[in-house]
């Protein structure tokens, strides 16, 4: 993967990248010091904005004042779950193909001290904290929360770990940063940069996992680790922190917070089991789906699926990417990541015909608000196979489960161009049609005020063209991301896209608006050609079901 541009990295920091894009960036960050620096700068910008709008800290006496007025309240009153909020607009940006959803949705509603939170809820992972991942709530309610007095202090700040949920699929823990003078620091630290490390090992020191997800909801921070296989009965969480409480000098404290936290995995392991499925199918588009096994753990159920492409399908995908190479816009070699622009949509249905969980492919990305949406993570091997671990809320009392394949989405070469005169397009918008999609170019401007990063290999000037578009997409086509602009002299430019789209209408069609940014184009050409190089297509003629045994 080539280095990441500022806009894409900014989206990554805001958790707006999903699926293969997020996975590719995370992998690239492990080895690229330049992109890690950009990543840190983007986080610093986000933190500065959060600091600017953050509510003032509660007084140190707040806990005692409130507790003095309360009668003992030993248990949380369970409240009905709210209906998921439905939005009529969905934002997307460049290259977002696979829908993954978040690993952890977090935390509590009040910015109060840990003692006050424990008094009301016993653990933030217990049922009743509606912003917590439902699987973690269920595990907490069933007694899979571990608590202890784990803390370390330096430079007037105490790192205190409060609650831990652990099973063979993941470890999640909550913590606070307490000030010696009272109150809390913001629970911020960048887990992978600036000398800060948080990871899991076995008792012999063998690393098992790095941080998978980190987030905050004052005064708590929540860390998640994704585990895979052969997890021992005892693991150690290691904190090695040198800077906490902020970024870029905003509320930051320097020091040494080294803590080793033992986690007992035995109870979670004993409560986890799996059933073999081992059913496979190859679609006429050349996508092979191998449903391996279903795992039942306290905090999630997880379906393991391996997908791959036939050689002819891989060759077709390579040909679609070669268009950009011929235009001089792709210089690196085509690798497994480039041959994985595809996905599947499926449902898991119980014996009563109810949808237990569902996953939508790249053409219609699933929303986090949908009930029991599948959270999907994938890893590639050198042959282009992808191993998916698709997680969802733990199964209830279902006696039978059916895997129903609904669609296959696969990226193909596109053959569509729009030619227009930038000087007149605002007065006379240009409209084209491609495979049932309607695309209208309605404006062209040169932006000379864009503030870009100056660190190589990123753009070192601030001039670029902006094209405004709108249109209607069919339910068989993914978001139109892959655009190239060619000026009157034949010079090609890669266009970066962002925008939004409406919910589908009764026919599944979606209105969209989008902005193309063309970096390096500093002038207004007399004529401009927009070329769509690749497009994600949906195929529903798949017709495959597979029984999943539930001999639990």
* pLDDT for the residue numbered 213: 85
pTM over 0.75: no
Kindly report the backbone phi and psi dihedral angles of residue 13, in degrees, each rounded to the nearest multiple of 5, phi listed first.
Answer: -65, -35
Beta partners for residue 71, in sequence order: none
Tokens of residue 439, six digits: 């695309």
The H or E element spanning position 91 is strand 89-93
| Neighbouring residues of 27: CB distance < 8 A, sequence distance ≥ 6 | 1
CB 223 within 8 A of CB 215: no
> Is 375 within 8 Å of 358 (Cβ atoms)?
no
What lies within 8 Å, CB to CB, of 65 at 6+ separation is none
Instruction: Return the CATH architecture of domain 413-539.
Output: Sandwich (2.60)
Q: Domain 273-410+540-548 falls in which CATH fold?
A: Immunoglobulin-like (2.60.40)
User: Taking a C-beta distance cutoff of 8 angstroms, is the pair 175, 191 a contact?
Assistant: no
Phi and psi for 40 in degrees, rounded to 5? -65, -40
**113: three-class secondary structure by DSSP:** coil
**Would you say 501 and 92 are in contact if contact means Cβ atoms under 8 Å apart?**
yes
Give the DSSP H/E element, type plus range, for residue 494: strand 492-502
Contact 408, 285 (CB under 8 A): yes
- Strands 287-296, 170-179: pairing is unpaired
CATH architecture designation of domain 102-271: Sandwich (2.60)
Cα–Cα nearest to 410, from 500, 358, 488, 478: 478
Q: How many residues make up the chain in this entry?
A: 552
Domain extents for the chain?
102-271, 273-410+540-548, 413-539
By three-state DSSP, how is residue 190 classified? coil
Fold: same for 102-271 and 273-410+540-548: yes
- Successive 10-residue mean pLDDT values, the chain, 552 residues: 72 69 66 71 66 48 53 39 39 35 29 36 67 84 90 95 94 93 82 78 95 80 88 96 72 88 95 94 96 94 94 83 72 65 92 89 63 79 86 83 94 92 97 96 85 52 87 91 92 89 85 92 94 93 92 63
User: What whole-number distance in Å separates Cα of residue 507 and Cα of residue 515?
Assistant: 25
């Amino acid at each position: 993967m080539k280095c990441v541009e500022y806009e894409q990295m900014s989206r990554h920091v805001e958790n707006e990248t999903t699926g293969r894009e997020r996975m590719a960036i995370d992998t690239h960050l492990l080895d690229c010091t330049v992109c890690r620096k950009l990543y840190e700068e983007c986080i610093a910008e986000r933190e500065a904005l959060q600091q600017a709008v953050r509510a003032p800290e509660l007084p140190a006496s707040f806990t005692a004042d409130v507790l003095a007025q309360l009668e003992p309240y030993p248990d949380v009153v369970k409240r009905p779950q709210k209906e998921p909020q439905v939005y009529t607009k969905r934002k997307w940006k460049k290259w977002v193909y696979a829908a993954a959803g978040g690993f952890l949705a977090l935390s509590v509603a009040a910015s109060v001290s840990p003692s006050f939170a424990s008094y009301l809820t016993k653990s933030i992972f217990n049922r009743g904290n509606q912003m917590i991942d439902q699987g973690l709530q269920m595990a907490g309610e069933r007694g899979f929360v571990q608590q202890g007095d784990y803390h370390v202090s330096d430079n007037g700040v105490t790192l205190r770990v409060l609650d831990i949920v652990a099973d063979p699929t993941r470890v999640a823990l909550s913590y606070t940063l307490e000030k010696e003078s009272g109150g809390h620091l913001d629970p911020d630290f960048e887990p992978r940069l600036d000398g800060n490390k948080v990871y899991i090992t076995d008792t012999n020191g063998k690393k098992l996992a790095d941080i998978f997800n980190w987030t905050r909801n004052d005064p708590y921070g929540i860390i998640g680790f994704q585990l895979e296989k052969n997890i021992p009965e005892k693991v150690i969480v290691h904190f090695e922190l040198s800077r906490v409480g902020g970024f870029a000098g905003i509320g930051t404290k320097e020091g040494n917070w080294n803590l080793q936290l033992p986690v007992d995995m035995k109870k979670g392991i004993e409560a986890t089991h799996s059933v073999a499925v081992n059913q496979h199918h190859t679609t006429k588009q050349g996508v092979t789906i191998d449903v391996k096994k279903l795992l039942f753990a306290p905090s999630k159920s997880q379906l393991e699926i391996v997908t791959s492409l036939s050689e002819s399908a891989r060759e077709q995908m390579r040909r679609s990417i070669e268009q950009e190479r011929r235009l001089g816009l792709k210089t690196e070699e085509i690798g497994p990541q480039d041959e994985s622009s595809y996905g599947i949509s499926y449902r898991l249905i119980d014996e009563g015909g109810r949808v237990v969980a569902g996953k939508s492919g790249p053409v219609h990305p699933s929303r986090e608000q949908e009930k029991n949406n599948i959270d999907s993570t994938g890893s590639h091997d050198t042959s282009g196979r992808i191993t998916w671990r698709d997680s969802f809320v733990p199964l209830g009392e279902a006696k039978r489960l059916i895997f129903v394949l609904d669609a296959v989405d696969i990226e193909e070469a596109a053959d569509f161009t729009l030619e227009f005169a930038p000087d007149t397009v605002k007065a006379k918008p240009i409209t084209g049609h491609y495979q049932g999609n309607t695309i209208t170019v309605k404006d062209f401007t040169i932006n000379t005020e864009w503030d870009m990063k100056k660190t190589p290999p990123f753009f070192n000037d601030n001039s670029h063209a902006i094209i405004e578009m709108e249109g209607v997409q069919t339910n068989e086509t993914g978001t139109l991301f892959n655009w190239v602009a060619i000026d009157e002299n034949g010079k090609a430019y890669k266009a970066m896209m962002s925008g939004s789209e409406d919910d589908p209408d009764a026919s599944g069609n979606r209105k969209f608006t989008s902005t193309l940014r063309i970096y390096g184009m500093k002038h207004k050409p007399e004529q401009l050609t927009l070329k769509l190089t690749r497009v994600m297509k949906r195929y529903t003629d798949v017709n495959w079901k597979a029984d999943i045994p539930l001999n639990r």
